Structure 1
Amino acid sequence: MSLTTLSSVLFRLFQYIEGANLNYSRISMTVPVLTSIVPGAGPLHSSAYFVKFYLPTKFSAIPPLALPELNLRPDSWKSHCIAVRKFSGFARDSNIVKEAEKLALSLSKSPWANSTSTDSGYAYSIAQYNSPLRFIRRVNEVWVDVSGPDEDSCKSRLMAEF
């Protein structure tokens, strides 16, 4: 993903939360901000991505619609299971892929081996919890969807490290 394109998306999201929506509502920023990577969906088989953030509860039932020129759309996720790997520092191309690989390696050595789900269409997502102006004690996560034989399967092992 290019920095210019990502900056454009983030600027449009910023405009949206500052009131560039059909009812001119200001929306409190929430965390995490998610960047979901879709491999091979971009031009010349490059990766594409979606940037998302959670709406405050106040707006969850009826989200304010973005102004059409912002080219943003609401998305809702059904309940699903994810595997998570936490990492610090700034989330950059150079360390995101390494962290995703470490998560994949951990999963391969766990009861969750071969359980990654492609239902979402994303290879993985990066969750960023801090403002870009925060330089120390930053928290990020790499997320990957996992599936099990039934709904309760992800509840059985809430935390494990391999």
Structure 2
Amino acid sequence: MMAPIANLGASWVSTKGEAMSMDEMMRGGFMKLFNYISGSNAAKSKIDMTSPVLTKIEPGQGPACNSKFTVNFYVPGSGSPAPTEAGVFLSNLPAMEVYVAAYGGYSSNDVAKAKAAEAMEALKAAGEPFDASYWFVAGYDSPYSVIGRHNEVWIPKKQ
């Protein structure tokens, strides 16, 4: 069910925000990053869409609290042009190990939260060390893909 991934260190274009749900954050965050790859950058260049779209989730302290989200698009190679839209920035994720749980269908805040909770329960039952203070959702498909969709939750391994 879960396998460790060794190295997440890579170049990304990112945006951060706080919201009640991942769905709410994705509406604006995804479009900001899509604008970047569509030419809203210093070089005014178009950049191919890549996958996954990776969202880091830092859960709020309670059910009626905002969570912190960082939405990321992978940008291949080095020397990516600087973003021109406010709130969009280039970043590198640190190398880390994560446990991965894959699932199909369309992802949403409720589905991703349930899959992350299932993964954390399985890790707890197996005695595996993990960090529950944040986790990731990785989406690999275009919104227009209907069948064979692939999503993942990534739970950081506690060091």
Superimposed CA distance per residue, residues 80-112 of structure 1 (whole angstroms, 9 cap, x where no aligned partner):
100000000011122111101111011112252
In terms of fraction of residues, the more strand-rich structure is: 2
Q: For the Cα contact (< 8 Å) 2:104–2:148, is it kept in 1? A: yes
106, 117, 131: which is aligned to 1:90?
106
Report whether the alignment pairs 1:116 with 2:149.
no
128, 142, 147: which is aligned to 2:158?
147
Ranges in structure 2 where 5+ consecutive residues have no aligned partner: 1-20
Deviation at 1:3, TM superposition (A): 4.1
**How many equivalent pairs are there?**
137
Rate the CA distance shift 1:86–1:52 in 2: closer, same or farther, 3 A: same
CA RMSD of aligned residues (A): 1.9
TM-score under structure 1 length normalisation: 0.76
The residue type equivalent to 2:149 in the other structure is R
Deviation at 1:31, TM superposition (A): 0.4
Residue 82 of structure 2 is matched in structure 1 by: 65
How far apart, in 2, do the equivalents of 1:73 and 1:88 lie? Answer: 30
Highest RCO, 1 vs 2 (Cα 8 Å, sep ≥ 6)? 2
Q: For the Cα contact (< 8 Å) 2:22–2:69, is it kept in 1? A: no
How far apart, in 2, do the equivalents of 1:100 and 1:74 lie? Answer: 27
Q: For the Cα contact (< 8 Å) 1:27–1:56, is it kept in 2? A: no
Ranges in structure 1 where 5+ consecutive residues have no aligned partner: 149-162
Report whether the alignment pairs 1:28 with 2:42.
no
Aligned partner of residue 147 in structure 1, secondary structure: coil
TM-score under structure 2 length normalisation: 0.78
